[in-house]
Structure 1
Amino acid sequence: MQSESQPPYVVIAGDLRRKILDGTFGPGERLATAKVFAKEYGAAIMTVQNAIRLLREEGLVITQQGRGIFVSANPGESADQRPSAEFAAVMSSLDKVIAELGRLDGRVRELEQTVDALQSGD
């Protein structure tokens, strides 16, 4: 599931998006809980909640407190449910920035480990 170029929540959202758009999850269908998806994807609940947030912003799912997460009635078909082109562009740019931050975080961690190893060798 993990992709080096995208944070986990974006990968999870992408997988769920594909399942919604290809009909695996039908309109109006109640989806599993964030806890169940977290276990399924091997991710933290917060990571899954962020993925669900993206799908909600795209108009693909509706969340109802106390009831669950549901696929929108017409996912990907209703202009009212789709984000504006400007919103989609901003989200795409933000996803790229987040992915780059994740990559840089990994590089910083590697550098810190190298520095720690060098310092402990003195």
Structure 2
Amino acid sequence: MLKAGLVVKNTGRPHYLQIADDLREQIRRGDLAPGAALPSTRELAAAYGASLSVVKLAVGVLRTEGLVIGQQGKGVFVRDGDESPADELSELRAAVRELSERVARVEAALSDRLS
């Protein structure tokens, strides 16, 4: 788990990238295992001595890299290594296609009723 008092060094590298580097390394080592929730933004900010916006940028880097995934209202989780972003995109496209077909059927049924 995350150690308290982690320090972001004054290396000239933006703080959010240093935080992303540290979290990425924790994921690589298995300290943050697949499926594990990242600490909250507030907890990360306290641990790194950073602002909430800097932590959000760091987590955003990890999302872009496909290492973590956010679940609305639940948190941010380490992505399962077996799951690739391309696989997830394919699943999302299939779900959108299915929903579009269902909406079209509902609209057709409502149109028939109103005619």
> Is TM (by shorter chain) over 0.5?
yes
- 1:60 Cα shift? 0.4
Tell me the amino acid that sits aligned with residue 47 of structure 2: E
1:56 aligns with one of 63, 73, 77:
63
Equivalent residues in 2 for 1:36-115, closer than 5 Å: 36-74=43-81, 80-81=84-85
- Long gaps (5+) in structure 1: 83-122
> 2:13 matched to 1:9?
no
Tell me the amino acid that sits aligned with residue 67 of structure 1: K
Say which structure, 1 or 2, has more relative contact order (CA 8 Å, 6+ apart). 1
Distance 1:70 1:61 in 2: 5
Distance 2:33 2:69 in 1: 13
Tell me the amino acid that sits aligned with residue 22 of structure 2: D
Distance 2:25 2:10 in 1: 16
The corresponding residue for 1:26 is 33
TM-score (norm 1): 0.61
Tell me the amino acid that sits aligned with residue 81 of structure 1: P
Identical amino acids, percent of aligned pairs: 39
- Long gaps (5+) in structure 2: 1-7, 87-115
> 2:39 matched to 1:35?
no
Identify the range of structure 1 (16-25 vs 2-11) with the bigger mean alpha-carbon deviation.
Answer: 2-11
| CA offsets 1:39-88 (integer angstroms, 9 cap, x no match) | 000000000000000000000000112100100011xx65x338xxxxxx
Aligned alpha-carbon RMSD (Å)? 1.6
Q: Rg: which structure is higher?
A: 2
